[in-house]
């Protein structure tokens, strides 16, 4: 028969093993997140970042973070079931553009939610934001350097590195890195020895963003930062939805009235005054919505124009691809999220979540036709903040007060 002291010793050994196991999982999760961010900003392929999503999701299942995050956000699972059932229904009786890969895209988004829940256990908010900000700044510096060396004309549009593939998604990546910097400063300014480092990276990101000549992301960022600052001080779901809808409406309106605006301020169709053709393609989108108002065309549908084959508008795209019912469900999901993010007690994460959401809606004013599409840069500026807020909602108070995660040294002070 075991004595009391031997039982206590056994329990202590068991607890130490459990703690060591969690530390190992957290260390692997932190490393996987770092690889994911760096790969997204520097590598055009998707295999490595998607592999990191799957790995971290598996770790979330092993650590219990997946179960905790799912229990805290049961409503998100209901929306996942709805969109899955809606895609299945669309595949049976909907438009011509439904495909089995659409289910895989939903599954990958679910895995990304679990992975962000695990990352929020492994790293503090400040560490996560620092990784995004530094990787984005380094990517912008490398892209500018490559452009100067390789481009025939340095005044041509900059094509960022990484999964962005072209100036518009790449500008979205630069935008989220700048939002991460702003969230770090919103929490507290950098210590003096890191201030110049911050300023250099921010200046590089601003230069890279301007060099892409991607007008919608630049305007969206200009709207998102002050609106997020206001929303952090004046909470309310209606205000968040109004800010998102307003950002989308401003940039969509600029696309609609582009010919009139250009007639006033532009003398040619070069560079910043190049035509976007958004008004023309949105007319085609309207016609397709009229043909398939309920279930949509399916996300694989493309217009027979190589130069403009998809809707180039997030809300118009959801309505066209999935139907008006799915668009209403998407807005409802954003409303649930707005309720969560306004209650987030981690100041920097609340700002990051709000600014990223407004930026994403502004971005969707002329791009990101399908927010549920396969992994691209929209995972960084739309879904990463979205899932990070949901995954760390109840752990935020503890995380702000203590630093026990791997690699907490330098990044915690940046």
pLDDT of residue 9: 58
Give me the mean pLDDT over the 224-231 stretch: 95
Residues 198-227 have pLDDT tens digits of 899 999 999 999 999 999 999 999 999 999
- Of 10-19, 260-269, 289-298, which has the strongest mean pLDDT? 289-298
Report yes or no on 270 lying in a domain.
Answer: yes
How many domains is the chain built from? Answer: 1
Domain span at residue 297 reads 124-393
Give me the mean pLDDT over the 94-101 stretch: 85
Residue scoring higher pLDDT (247 or 268): 247
Position 53 confidence tier, pLDDT thresholds 50, 70, 90? very high
Residue 404: pLDDT over 50? no
Report yes or no on 68 lying in a domain.
Answer: no
Report yes or no on 117 lying in a domain.
Answer: no
- Name the nearest CA neighbour of 285 among 273, 270, 296: 296
Provide the mean pLDDT of the chain: 86
Position 262 confidence tier, pLDDT thresholds 50, 70, 90? confident
Distance between CA atoms of residues 293 and 235, nearest Å: 35
pLDDT of residue 233: 82
Report yes or no on 58 lying in a domain.
Answer: no
Distance between CA atoms of residues 165 and 44, nearest Å: 6
Residue 249: pLDDT over 60? yes
Report yes or no on 327 lying in a domain.
Answer: yes
pLDDT of residue 153: 81
Residues 138-187 have pLDDT tens digits of 999 999 999 999 877 888 899 999 987 789 999 999 999 999 999 998 87
Residue 101: pLDDT over 90? no
Tokens of 384: 């990463």
Report yes or no on 203 lying in a domain.
Answer: yes
Report yes or no on 151 lying in a domain.
Answer: yes
pLDDT of residue 270: 66
- C-alpha distances out from residue 11 to 1, 8, 23, 260, 302, Å: 16, 5, 18, 75, 61
User: How far, rounded to the nearest angstrom, does the alpha carbon of residue 244 sit from its chain's CA centroid?
Assistant: 15
Residues 339-349 have pLDDT tens digits of 999 989 899 99
Report yes or no on 33 lying in a domain.
Answer: no
pLDDT of residue 267: 65
pLDDT of residue 409: 43
């Amino acid at each position: 028969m075991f004595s009391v002291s031997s039982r206590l010793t056994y329990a202590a050994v068991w607890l130490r093993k459990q703690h060591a196991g969690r530390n190992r999982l957290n260390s692997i999760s932190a490393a996987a997140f770092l690889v994911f961010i760096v790969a997204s900003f520097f590598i055009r392929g998707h295999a490595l970042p998607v592999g990191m999503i799957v790995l971290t999701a598996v770790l979330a299942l092993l650590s219990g973070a997946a179960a905790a995050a799912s229990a805290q956000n049961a409503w998100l699972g209901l929306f996942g079931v709805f969109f899955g059932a809606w895609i299945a229904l669309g595949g049976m009786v909907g438009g011509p553009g439904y495909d089995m890969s659409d289910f895989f895209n939903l599954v990958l988004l679910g895995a990304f939610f679990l992975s962000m829940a695990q990352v929020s256990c492994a790293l503090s908010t400040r560490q996560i934001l620092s990784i995004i900000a530094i990787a984005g700044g380094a990517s912008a510096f490398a892209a500018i350097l490559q452009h100067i060396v390789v481009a025939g004309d340095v005044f041509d549009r900059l094509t960022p590195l990484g999964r962005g593939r072209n100036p518009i998604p790449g500008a979205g990546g630069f935008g989220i890195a700048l939002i991460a910097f702003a969230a770090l400063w919103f929490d507290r300014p950098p210590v003096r020895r890191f201030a110049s480092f911050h300023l250099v990276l921010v200046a590089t990101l601003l230069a890279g963003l301007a060099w892409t000549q991607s007008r919608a992301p630049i305007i969206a960022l200009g709207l998102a930062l002050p609106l997020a600052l206001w929303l952090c001080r004046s909470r309310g779901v209606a205000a968040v939805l109004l800010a998102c809808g307003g950002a989308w409406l401003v940039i969509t309106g600029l696309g609609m009235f582009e010919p009139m605006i250009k007639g006033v301020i532009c003398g040619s169709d070069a560079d910043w005054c190049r035509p976007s053709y958004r008004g023309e393609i949105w007319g085609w989108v309207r016609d397709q919505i009229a043909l398939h108002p309920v279930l949509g065309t399916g996300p694989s549908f493309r217009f027979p124009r190589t130069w403009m084959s998809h809707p180039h508008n997030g809300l118009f795209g959801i309505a066209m691809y999935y139907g008006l019912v799915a668009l209403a469900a998407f807005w409802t999901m954003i409303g649930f999220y707005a309720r969560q993010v306004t209650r987030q007690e981690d100041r920097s994460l609340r700002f990051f979540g709000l600014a990223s959401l407004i930026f994403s809606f502004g971005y969707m004013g002329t791009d990101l036709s399908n927010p549920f599409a396969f992994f691209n840069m929209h995972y960084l500026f739309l879904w990463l903040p979205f899932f990070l807020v949901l995954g760390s909602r109840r752990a935020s108070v503890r995380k702000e007060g203590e630093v026990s995660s791997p690699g907490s040294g330098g990044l915690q002070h940046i």
